[in-house]
Amino acid sequence: MTFASNILDSIGNTPLQELRNIDTGPCRLFAKLEYHNPGGSIKDRIALSMVQTAERDGLIQPGGTLIEATAGNTGLGLALVAAQKGYKLLIVIPDKMSQEKVFHLQAMGAEVLMTRSDVVKGHPEYYQDYAARIAQETPNAFYVNQFANPANVQAHVEGTGPEIWQQMEHNIDAFVCGVGTGGTLTGVGSYLKKMSEKTQVILADPEGSVLADYVNEGVMREAGSWQVEGIGEDFIPDICDLSLVDRAYSISDQLSFATGRELLAREGIFVGSSSGTILAAALHYCRSQTECKRVVAIIPDSGNKYISKMYNDHWMLDQGFIERKHYGDLRDLISRLHRKHETVVATPDETLIAAQTRMKMHDISQLPVLQDDHICGIIDESDILLAVNDHPEHFRDPVSKYMTKKLDVVVHTAPIKQLLQTFAKDHVAIVMHGDEFLGIITRSDLLNYLRRKIS
């Protein structure tokens, strides 16, 4: 029998997979699938290493508290390690982080402390300064601090690097990764360069991050913003050795998301947004070669945390990451076209409870009501509230009884300013083409449309 006797024994030894269905030019490209770690990401490795090192150095005693400032994968890795080793874990995060991330951390046993997201480094309530201060004030506490902790790098020198070296049978031309803390780049990069003179380190950096320009041109530009998560920086982390990098590629959010989606479609590998950036850089590198190079790209985590973003066509359209068909009329503002079966609707005979459940599920506050594909009303949360306020039993009544039948209809060729009259009444616009219902336009659809115009 071969089995692990503790979940922590399953950290590391992740698979390496060659990509055969994507155009890699003359090269062979291999993906190191780090989402196979039990906590779902590459960060399990450093969580274990940083805690074991703190134990070895006497920085934490049994029953002590680990403290870290992160809403990301490191928090989940630490939660896994803390639970198995009997430590408490306190995670400090800025209050803009998604509920999903908070629930995930709490479900794994972490205590989550929220702090302000509108303050910068140096402010006492900035999440990293806050975590460091609590660690000082709490007895038997250890501030993990992945950005400055050498055990982060060491996890990759002892684990990730040697694994890749073995799996590639001591023959690797290039290693491609991103930088969050720089642990992966510094650890794997230094190990591979020590083992093999020819191995190049390629940095994949999101557009807006300062690192790629620093590597390629030696200049420190002002940071912009990007939506890819986990990589890219507005400073150079303490443990990050950028002198190891031979070449850096700056990759747009749009290309990162598209590449991640392509990897799923072509290879069946379901990856997170940073993997899209890394793979896009790896493909640039591969396609610019004139002879066969053996290239490894890191896949830090899986796509399941990003389903409602990069894998959601509506989000991608709203953000302008997917090109939509251009009509030159109000159809350009409709986020869900009825003709494409995208609208979420109610029927007149279903109950209020069914309609409200659907609104909650899709995170919307109104539904067009359709009978035989013809619009006959609209029902929103206020209609339902008025119906059930004194009579909760009305939840079982049909939608037709409480829906608004007087509709604010606009033809698809109407000017945009006509929408403002509708919104001023707190209504949504019902867009029609003759008899045909095309979709609805809300205030936020108009805002998204205007924002797409500037980008």
**Residue selected from 94, 161, 183, 208 as contacting ligand PLP according to rule CB under 6 A:** 183
Nearer to ligand PLP, 263 or 403 (CB): 263
CA dist 299 and 28 (Å) reads 16
- Residue placing its CB nearer to ligand PLP in the complex, 229 or 318: 229
**In the set 230, 232, 368, 439, which binds ligand PLP (CB under 6 A)?**
230
Kindly state the smallest distance separating residue 43's Cβ from ligand PLP, in Å: 6
Which of the 8 DSSP states describes residue 92?
Answer: E
Shortest separation between residue 74's beta carbon and ligand PLP, angstroms: 6
Applying CB under 6 A, the span of 2-10, 19-27, 91-99, 229-237 interacting with ligand PLP comes to 229-237
Contact 259, 276 (CB under 8 A): yes
**Catalytic residue at 43?**
yes
End-to-end Cα separation, the chain, in angstroms: 57
Considering only residues 65, 209, 254, 274, which one is a binding residue for ligand PLP as defined by CB under 6 A? 274
- Per DSSP, the three-state class of 210 is coil
Q: Which residue has the tokens 């093999």?
A: 196
Q: Output 173 or 229, the one with its CB closest to ligand PLP.
A: 229
Question: Per-residue x/- mask for ligand PLP, residues 290 to 319, rule CB under 6 A?
Answer: ----------xx------------------
Q: Between residues 64 and 208, which has the closer beta carbon with respect to ligand PLP?
A: 208
Report the nearest approach of ligand PLP to the CB of residue 229 (Å): 6
Q: Which is nearer to ligand PLP, 231 or 419 (CB)?
A: 231
Task: Decide whether 46 or 440 has the Cβ nearer to ligand PLP.
Answer: 46
How many other β-carbons are positioned within 10 Å of the β-carbon of residue 149? 22
Contacts of 393 (CB under 8 A, 6+ apart): none
The tally of CA atoms less than 13 A away on the side-chain side of residue 208 is: 13
Smallest gap, in angstroms, from Cβ of residue 170 to ligand PLP? 23
Listed in sequence order, the residues at least 6 apart from 448 whose beta carbon sits closer than 8 Å to its beta carbon are 318, 335
CB of 91 to ligand PLP, least distance (A): 14
Residue of 37, 73, 160, 259 that binds ligand PLP (CB under 6 A): 73
What residue is closest to ligand PLP based on CB?
230
Interatomic CA distance for residues 70 and 67, integer angstroms: 10
Which residues in 140-179 contact ligand PLP (CB under 6 A)?
A: 178-179
Instruction: Give the E-state strand segments of 56-136 in sequence order.
Output: 65-69, 88-94, 111-115
Count of residues engaged in binding ligand PLP, rule: CB under 6 A:
17
Selected from 184, 250, 259, 319, the binder of ligand PLP by CB under 6 A is 184
Cβ burial of 77 (10 Å; 0-12, 13-18, 19+) is buried
Provide the minimum distance between the beta carbon of 193 and ligand PLP in the complex, in angstroms, as a whole number. Answer: 17
Q: Which of 12, 40, 72, 232 binds ligand PLP (CB under 6 A)?
A: 72
Q: Within a 10 A sphere around the Cβ of 307, how many other Cβ atoms?
A: 12
Angle between helices 253-267 and 273-287 (to 10 degrees): 90
Alpha helices in 94-210 (DSSP H): 99-107, 127-137, 150-155, 161-167, 183-195
- Number of Cβ within 10 Å of residue 73's Cβ equals 28
Question: Is 282 or 403 the residue whose CB approaches ligand PLP more closely?
Answer: 282
Minimum CB separation from ligand PLP for residue 41, in Å?
Answer: 6
Which is closer to ligand PLP, CB of 209 or CB of 442? Answer: 209
**Other residues' Cβ atoms within 10 Å of the Cβ of residue 215:** 22
Other C-beta atoms within 10 Å of 433: how many?
A: 14
Residue reference for tokens 């969580």: 47
Active-site annotation holder among 32, 43, 85, 293:
43
The three-state secondary structure class of 332 is helix
* Cβ neighbour number for residue 444 with a 10 Å cutoff: 11
Which 185-204 residues touch ligand PLP, going by CB under 6 A?
185
- Tokens 């350009």 correspond to what residue? 332
| Residue 209 binds ligand PLP, judged by CB under 6 A | no
Catalytic residues: 43
For ligand PLP, the binding residues (CB under 6 A) are 72-73, 178-185, 229-231, 272, 274, 300-301
